Amino acid sequence: MARKPPTKPRKNASQARSRATVDALVEATARILVREGFEKAGTNRIAEVAGVSVGSLYQYFPSKEALVAAVIDRHNREIMALVRAALTEVADMPIETAVRRLVTVAIEAHRIDPKLHRVLAEQIPRTGQLADVEAFNREVHTLVRAYLESRRREMRKIDPALATFICVSAIEAIAHNTVLNQAEMLSDKMVRTLVDEATRMVVGYLR
Amino acid sequence: MARKPPTKPRKNASQARSRATVDALVEATARILVREGFEKAGTNRIAEVAGVSVGSLYQYFPSKEALVAAVIDRHNREIMALVRAALTEVADMPIETAVRRLVTVAIEAHRIDPKLHRVLAEQIPRTGQLADVEAFNREVHTLVRAYLESRRREMRKIDPALATFICVSAIEAIAHNTVLNQAEMLSDKMVRTLVDEATRMVVGYLR
Amino acid sequence: MARKPPTKPRKNASQARSRATVDALVEATARILVREGFEKAGTNRIAEVAGVSVGSLYQYFPSKEALVAAVIDRHNREIMALVRAALTEVADMPIETAVRRLVTVAIEAHRIDPKLHRVLAEQIPRTGQLADVEAFNREVHTLVRAYLESRRREMRKIDPALATFICVSAIEAIAHNTVLNQAEMLSDKMVRTLVDEATRMVVGYLR
Amino acid sequence: MARKPPTKPRKNASQARSRATVDALVEATARILVREGFEKAGTNRIAEVAGVSVGSLYQYFPSKEALVAAVIDRHNREIMALVRAALTEVADMPIETAVRRLVTVAIEAHRIDPKLHRVLAEQIPRTGQLADVEAFNREVHTLVRAYLESRRREMRKIDPALATFICVSAIEAIAHNTVLNQAEMLSDKMVRTLVDEATRMVVGYLR
DNA sequence: TATGAATGAGCATTCATTCAT
DNA sequence: AATGAATGAATGCTCATTCAT
């Protein structure tokens, strides 16, 4: 197997100054990725947009890949924060409420930065971040599955892992396609309808 | 907007010789994409594997992107053939049968060449082929929608476009995740269970 | 141990055109090495001086090191040609004649291109060519030793390998220092005197 | 001609603290040169190994070259100390004894730190220290020549400068090749034999 | 038509050196 | 004096594309 370049941040960036530089670099990378595409995201360009020198970039990130990885990581954390909050919130609520909330959160997650989401989805294999993204997926599955298990009595007899797989796949895809394909022209009414429908499908399936 | 390189084959490849060369190039591209990844798919490498010179490559394809586009196109045609056949076959059958067939065909489509499917999914944005892929998606939607409309009386009252969007998204995602994530260790039994579950969810939703 | 970059020419350069390009590159490298020093011998610069593009450079040489290696190789071949010719010539002659010839040839060898000789001597460790240079040294030792063994009866009792080591070291050093340190102001008379003295020392030692 | 960077230590290092820092830097440079090679001897690395900051490095040395120059200088001083001591010791002794002592000292000098010796030999041209090295050579020549002149009556009629050049070249080369090529596997017996032979050659030549 | 040598803009990365703190 | 974050020119190398043969 080919040796992959390192993708972990080089230093802990404990000092405020360093932290600012690191943030500027990650932010610049995300912006370029969104506005100009992956091809344009060269290290010199990134440094320029971040307002630092290439040298500084390499002081904090060992490679271009590490930078993209950091963007992915940041994005995943934002999404996970939403998902965790939603699931905590609905922990004691009935399935219908919970599923509706989950569908809503899935759409919200995609709406944080739809273009970034798309570019990252494409670039993940390049960055060796598949592992991290899978960890992310696993966490979502674990959380959802835990909820479903706690609500077993509202549901028909069904393997929780399987149910989780089916439901998460469906919800994620509907959110993804809704946000990425319908693009800008996405009225609140349409969103509400889609949430209703997706919820109906999933709840119908679980009961 | 930046000028994109052309992505259409240069000539009609009417002669048999040309046709063979074009096929060899597309095939070589697909193989390298699958076996060595996008990074290794350089034009020189592709020409070499195809057994022709780079010069010949550019005689038939105006750019590297055009080559990848041709691979995408070929793959999409194969999938569409399956989908069309399936829908033709189930045109007069009840929803349950039809949905089961559709789910099955979605998994079969992903199984034609899972690795290629994944690589292409990642590379599509790079090739400017989004348009073609959307045409592909549109066709699937149109066909499914036509079927659903013809079966309206088996279904609850629901906007056919909306139902199509929901169902196709869910089915596609389940097939995609099933094949790409569960990778090789995918027993026939598991596939059957997944088909059952997906069918149940979709049919339950439509009725 | 760290992986060294490759240092073998990339293709056989059988065609005349290729051959010319390869020669131009090697020649350009040697010139820059001599005239501007190792630091200036960048790949872009070398290509420029050779009148080709960097791309062509990398078509024939896999790395900068390979180029320097080729220069070393060429230089070593030139020297070996002199040495072999000299030893063939004196094969049947008495020690005094042979040693004088060898000393002369050593100085001639250094005079082929004294500056290049010096730069290469310095760069050899960088190029991973130590192996080749040692092969070169071994050949010299083998040839000299063979001669000495064939002349054993003119010599005192002495281990041939040891005698070869002592004599070759001494002759090489005198030639080296003569040419490189005394630089330009090296009259024919001085050279003759040095040849006389070195010959005297070595012959005296062997008898 | 290109402007060379300065190579003299920046301050007199009169204070004890400064002296310690300077020593640490020179020592660190030597260690890295020996253990990791010239390529790894970056200023940041040197400072790190010396336990100071890059900033401090530049407080005492105006350039990387100056550091290497200091290492060369230190090494040369060590060698000169040996050579001077040896020549003082043999000042009143017969040629045979003196030459044997000189040969021995030459080998000892190379054995102080063979790897450092080799690296420095390679790096000298880069540092602009040729002048200093030549001064070193001149001193050796002067000392040896003075000895030879004082022993004229034991020798045949011969130009002392010429004799010095020949003898020093031969001795140095034999010591150099002995230590650097035969590497580790250099038994005491072999060394003794080589000293005997070299002495025989040089003494035979001078008488 | 086919070939493959040649092109050169462009990219990731390094490292000696500076300077604000 | 000391620090080490920041700098940015410079370098080795790749690869899509062209064009003389």
A63 pLDDT more than 70 = yes
d(CA B75, CA B72): 5
Q: How sure is the predictor about A9, in pLDDT bands with cuts at 50, 70 and 90?
A: low
For residue A183, what pLDDT is reported? 63
B80 pLDDT more than 90 = yes
C63 pLDDT more than 50 = yes
A83 pLDDT more than 60 = yes
Contacts of A163 in chain B (CB under 8 A): 197
Q: Give the nearest nucleotide to A42, CA to C1'.
A: E11
User: Domain for residue A10, yes or no?
Assistant: no
User: Strand E: which nucleotides have any atom within 7 A of a protein Cβ?
Assistant: 1-20
Q: Which residue of D has its CA nearest to C134?
A: D181
CB spacing of D170 vs C201 below 8 angstroms: yes
For every residue of B17-68, DSSP letters joined together read HHHHHHHHHHHHHHHHHHHH-GGG--HHHHHHHHTS-HHHHHHH-SSHHHHH
Of D162, D174, D204, the CB nearest to C193: D162
Please indicate, yes or no, whether residues B79 and B153 belong to a single structural domain of this protein: yes
Within 13 Å and on the Cβ side, how many CA atoms surround D136?
18
Please indicate, yes or no, whether residues B70 and B169 belong to a single structural domain of this protein: yes
Q: Distances from the Cα of B161 to the Cαs of A48, B140, B175, in angstroms?
A: 46, 12, 21
A122 pLDDT more than 60 = yes
Q: Give the nearest nucleotide to A15, CA to C1'.
A: F5
Q: Is the CB of A42 under 7 A from strand E?
A: yes
Secondary structure of residue C193 in the 3-state scheme: helix
Q: Note whether A174 and A194 are within 8 A (CB).
A: yes
Q: What is the pLDDT of residues D59-108, one digit of tens each?
A: 999 999 999 999 999 999 999 999 999 999 999 999 999 999 999 999 99
Q: Minimal Cα–Cα distance from D142 to chain C, Å?
A: 16
Q: How sure is the predictor about C196, in pLDDT bands with cuts at 50, 70 and 90?
A: very high
For residue D187, what pLDDT is reported? 85
d(CA A121, CA C187): 75
The pair phi, psi for residue C158, each rounded to 5°, is: -160, 140
d(CA B104, CA B100): 6
Contacts of C128 in chain D (CB under 8 A): none
Instruction: Report which of residues 62-121 in chain A place their beta carbon less than 7 angstroms from any atom of strand E.
Output: 62-64
Instruction: Report which of residues 174-193 in chain D place their beta carbon less than 7 angstroms from any atom of strand F.
Output: none
Contacts of A165 in chain B (CB under 8 A): 174, 177
Please indicate, yes or no, whether residues B112 and B188 belong to a single structural domain of this protein: yes
User: Domain for residue C107, yes or no?
Assistant: yes
User: Domain for residue D97, yes or no?
Assistant: yes
Number of domains in chain D: 1
Produce one character per residue of A137-170: b if its CB has 16 or more CB atoms within 10 Å, e if not.
eeebeebbbebbeebeeebeebebeebbbbbbbb
Q: How sure is the predictor about A2, in pLDDT bands with cuts at 50, 70 and 90?
A: very low
Of B118, B126, B170, the CB nearest to A201: B170
Selection from A24, A120, A18, A115 nearest residue A69 by Cα: A120
Residue closest to E7 C1′ by Cα = C53
CB spacing of A201 vs B166 below 8 angstroms: yes
Task: Among A98-107, B156-165, C13-22, name the one with the lowest average pLDDT.
Answer: C13-22
Task: Point out the domain boundary residue: B26, B44, B62.
Answer: B62
User: Domain for residue B3, yes or no?
Assistant: no
Residues of chain D with pLDDT under 50: 1-4, 13
Residue for token digits 């586009």?
B69
For residue C132, what pLDDT is reported? 82
The answer to whether B166 contacts chain A (CB < 8 Å) is yes
Residue closest to E16 C1′ by Cα = D43
Of C118, C165, C174, the CB nearest to D170: C174
For residue D64, what pLDDT is reported? 94
**B16-36 vs B64-90: helix crossing angle, rounded to 10:** 90
Residue closest to F1 C1′ by Cα = D56
Provide the mean pLDDT of chain B: 90
Q: What is the pLDDT of residues A11-27, one digit of tens each?
A: 444 467 788 899 999 99
Partner B, chain A 94-153, Cβ-Cβ below 8 Å: 118-119, 122, 125
Q: CATH number of the domain at A89, please.
A: 1.10.357.10
| Mutant choice from A197, A200, A207 vs B, greatest count of B C-beta within 10 A | A197
d(CA A29, CA A24): 8
Q: What is the pLDDT of residues B189-199, one digit of tens each?
A: 999 999 999 99
C87 pLDDT more than 50 = yes
C131 pLDDT more than 80 = no
For residue D14, what pLDDT is reported? 56
The shares of helix, strand and coil residues in chain C, as percent rounded to the nearest 5, are: 80, 0, 20
Q: Note whether A73 and A9 are within 8 A (CB).
A: no
For residue A184, what pLDDT is reported? 65
Q: Is the CB of C43 under 7 A from strand E?
A: no
- The range of the structural domain enclosing residue A75 comes to 71-206
Task: Among A126-140, A166-180, B122-136, D19-33, name the one with the lowest average pLDDT.
Answer: B122-136
Instruction: Kindly state the percentage of chain A with pLDDT values over 70.
Output: 89
Q: What is the pLDDT of residues C105-121, one digit of tens each?
A: 999 999 999 989 988 88
User: Domain for residue C85, yes or no?
Assistant: yes
For residue B86, what pLDDT is reported? 97
The answer to whether C174 contacts chain D (CB < 8 Å) is yes
* H helical segments located in A61-187: 64-89, 95-112, 114-127, 130-150, 160-181
* H helical segments located in C90-129: 95-111, 114-127
Q: Minimal Cα–Cα distance from C55 to chain D, Å?
A: 26
The answer to whether A173 contacts chain B (CB < 8 Å) is yes
Q: How sure is the predictor about B2, in pLDDT bands with cuts at 50, 70 and 90?
A: very low
Separation of CA B12 and C1' E3 in angstroms? 22
C176 pLDDT more than 80 = yes
Q: How sure is the predictor about C2, in pLDDT bands with cuts at 50, 70 and 90?
A: very low
Q: Distances from the Cα of A175 to the Cαs of A18, A105, A178, A180, D59, in angstroms?
A: 37, 9, 5, 8, 60
Q: Distances from the Cα of C187 to the Cαs of C179, C192, C194, C196, in angstroms?
A: 11, 9, 11, 14
User: Domain for residue D52, yes or no?
Assistant: no
Structure token digits, residue D41: 């001897």
Q: How sure is the predictor about C130, in pLDDT bands with cuts at 50, 70 and 90?
A: confident
Q: Note whether A83 and A77 are within 8 A (CB).
A: no
Q: How sure is the predictor about C179, in pLDDT bands with cuts at 50, 70 and 90?
A: very high
Q: Is B175 exposed, middle or buried (0-12, 13-18, 19+ CB in 10 A)?
A: buried
User: Domain for residue D140, yes or no?
Assistant: yes
Q: How sure is the predictor about B17, in pLDDT bands with cuts at 50, 70 and 90?
A: confident
User: Domain for residue D176, yes or no?
Assistant: yes
Secondary structure of residue C87 in the 3-state scheme: helix
Please indicate, yes or no, whether residues B166 and B114 belong to a single structural domain of this protein: yes
